[in-house]
């Protein structure tokens, strides 16, 4: 069992501190965050599959692959430090080293992350000055400030925590994330930093995180673009003294809670999509294989024609069926049925049962579901997406200004 904590954040887990400040990378908003654990953490991570990877991604990914234990994460927003070559990597390493020195730990214990405009040199002097300022500000209530400091085009901060009841007592999973545009699963689609005070061995923490990412962050799409800087990390410092072991009921309970918080974050990212006015859950039913189910969900979630129809409250089921047929999945067109929430739209053999007025009412809601039954197997899958509005174009037309 688990329950969400009011105003939960990454520092809701015991032994974690955080802070978020303005250091001058962005024009006005906070742009530097630091998360720190008093105890050393086992860490798991998933990273972008984009072949163009930002410098901090290359550094942090290697640390996770090597099973490195860590104590901190340094994150800047407003500058992606991507497509900056060897100079960009050295800039990331220099900020990592300086941050470690200020914290009194090893550089290999500091993960680094960046988000923002691609192709611009990281203003190292501003980050260094920011580190001088932020380290003394670390505190147990700084999670919300850190959440604010990592956002870019997001309209809101994104922060959660859950308390999980295990056999030996309670543990907490907390987290912050950012994401609004360039959201398309090929890993995790944004920046996510999770903490827990449970004891989790390095051998199982990666497996836990990867499994939950697959059914949350890897099932959302805002615009079909995978960023150069995407990453999700989970740090476990064991401050609760309670261990999560594989093959136990505690493991299952912890995994259920972790999946829930990941899904909550993923859905909030979609609902906060650039220019989004609607959150849409796409339920693919009775596919021949699990892969087919995901392919169909992905195709519908990414379709500009579907997403613009949703924005216009147009019950254009033909675009949904067309996306399914173009997905690469094994589908039998005559078998497909479509409904919005519980309202039937299309039955087998292309029998149209659309009630335009009722469909318009559903499509006017801020949140609803599109259900597409392939009637070709038993596998199911859920994706989340949002609509495309004129505002999305405006935001991305002048992003650098």
Tell me how far apart the alpha carbons of residues 232 and 237 are, in angstroms, rounded to a whole number: 17
395 vs 314, higher pLDDT: 314
CA angle 27, 30, 36 (to 5 degrees): 145
pLDDT of residue 390: 72
Q: What's the whole-number mean pLDDT along residues 322-347?
A: 97
326 pLDDT higher than 60: yes
Q: Answer whether residue 43 shows pLDDT above 70.
A: yes
Q: Give the mean model confidence (pLDDT) for residues 325-354.
A: 97
Residue 185 is predicted with a pLDDT of 45
Q: What is the pLDDT of residue 229?
A: 82
Q: What are phi and psi of 334, to 5 degrees?
A: -65, -20
Query: Does residue 189 have an active-site annotation?
Result: yes
What's the farthest any 2 CA atoms get from each other in the chain? 69
Per-residue pLDDT band at 241 (split at 50, 70, 90): very high
Side-chain-facing half-sphere of 139: CA atoms under 13 Å: 8
Phi-psi region of 7 (alpha: psi -120 to 50; beta: other; left: phi over 0): left
Tell me what pLDDT residue 270 has: 83
Instruction: Tell me which residue of 223, 161, 149, 135 sits closest to 191, measured CA to CA.
Output: 149
What is the phi/psi pair of residue 223, to 5°?
-140, 5
Identified catalytic residue from 189, 233, 263, 337: 189
Report residue 44's pLDDT band, with 50, 70 and 90 as the boundaries: very high
Query: Can you give the pLDDT at residue 187?
Result: 33
Structure tokens at 18: 């955080």
Above 70 in pLDDT, residue 341? yes
Average pLDDT over the chain, rounded to an integer: 92
The answer, yes or no, to whether residue 184 has pLDDT greater than 50, is no
DSSP 349-380: GGEE---HHHHHHHHTSSEEEEEEE--SSSEE
In a 3-state reduction of DSSP, which class is residue 67? coil
Q: Note the pLDDT of residue 142.
A: 98
Handedness of CA 36, 178, 60, 124 (dihedral sign): negative
Range with the poorest average pLDDT among 22-26, 177-181, 256-260:
177-181
Which residue has better confidence, 314 or 48?
314
Task: Decide if 272 contacts 384 (C-beta within 8 A).
Answer: no
Distance of CA 332 to the CA centre of its chain: 33
Residue 274 has pLDDT above 80, yes or no: no
Nearest Cα neighbor of 296 from 309, 282, 312, 307 is: 282
Question: What confidence tier does 18 reach under pLDDT thresholds 50, 70, 90?
Answer: very high
SS3 content of the chain, % helix, strand, coil (to 5): 35, 30, 35
Residue 388 pLDDT grade (very low, low, confident, very high; cuts 50, 70, 90):
confident
The pTM (predicted TM-score) of the whole model is: 0.87
**Residue that wins the pLDDT comparison between 223 and 160:** 160
Residue with tokens 């579901």: 369
Task: Set out the domains of the chain in order of their start, with CATH numbers.
Answer: 2-271 (3.60.70.12), 279-397 (3.10.20.340)
Q: What is the pLDDT of residues 132-174, one digit of tens each?
A: 999 999 999 999 999 999 988 777 889 999 999 999 999 999 9
| pLDDT surpassing 80 at residue 23 | yes
Identify the residue with better confidence: 80 or 156: 80
């Amino acid at each position: 069992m688990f329950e969400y904590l009011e105003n939960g954040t990454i520092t809701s887990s015991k032994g974690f501190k955080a802070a978020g400040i303005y250091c001058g990378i962005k024009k006005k908003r906070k742009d530097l965050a630091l998360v720190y654990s008093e105890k050393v953490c086992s860490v798991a991570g998933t990273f972008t599959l984009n072949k163009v990877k930002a410098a901090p991604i290359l550094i942090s990914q290697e640390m996770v692959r090597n099973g490195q234990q860590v104590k901190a994460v340094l994150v800047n927003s407003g500058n992606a430090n991507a497509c900056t070559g060897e100079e960009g990597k050295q800039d990331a390493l220099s900020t990592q080293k300086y941050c470690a020195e200020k914290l009194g730990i090893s550089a290999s214990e500091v993960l680094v992350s960046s988000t923002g405009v691609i192709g611009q040199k990281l203003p190292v002097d501003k980050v260094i000055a920011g580190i001088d300022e932020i380290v003394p500000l670390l505190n147990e209530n700084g999670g919300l400030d850190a959440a604010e400091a990592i956002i870019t085009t997001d309209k809101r901060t994104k922060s959660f925590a859950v308390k999980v009841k295990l056999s030996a007592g309670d543990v907490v999973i907390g987290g912050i994330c950012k994401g609004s545009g360039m959201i398309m699963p090929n890993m995790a689609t944004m920046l996510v930093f999770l903490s827990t005070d449970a004891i989790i061995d390095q051998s199982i923490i990666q497996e836990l995180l990867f499994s939950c990412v697959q059914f949350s962050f890897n099932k959302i799409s805002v615009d079909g673009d995978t960023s150069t800087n995407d990453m999700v990390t989970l740090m476990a410092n064991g401050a609760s003294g309670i261990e999560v072991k594989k093959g136990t009921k505690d493991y299952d309970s912890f995994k259920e809670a972790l999946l829930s918080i990941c899904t909550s974050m993923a859905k909030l990212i979609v609902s906060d999509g650039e220019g989004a006015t609607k959150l849409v859950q796409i339920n693919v039913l009775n596919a021949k294989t699990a892969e087919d189910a995901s392919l169909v969900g992905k195709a519908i979630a990414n379709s500009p024609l579907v997403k613009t129809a949703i924005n216009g409250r147009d019950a254009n089921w033909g675009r949904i069926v067309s996306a399914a047929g173009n997905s690469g999945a094994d589908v039998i067109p005559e078998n497909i049925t479509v409904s919005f929430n519980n309202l039937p739209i299309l039955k087998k053999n292309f029998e149209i049962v659309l009630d335009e007025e009722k469909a318009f009412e559903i499509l006017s809601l801020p949140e609803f579901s599109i259900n597409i039954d392939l009637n070709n197997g038993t596998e199911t899958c859920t994706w989340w997406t949002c609509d495309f509005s004129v505002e999305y174009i405006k935001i991305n037309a002048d992003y650098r200004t």
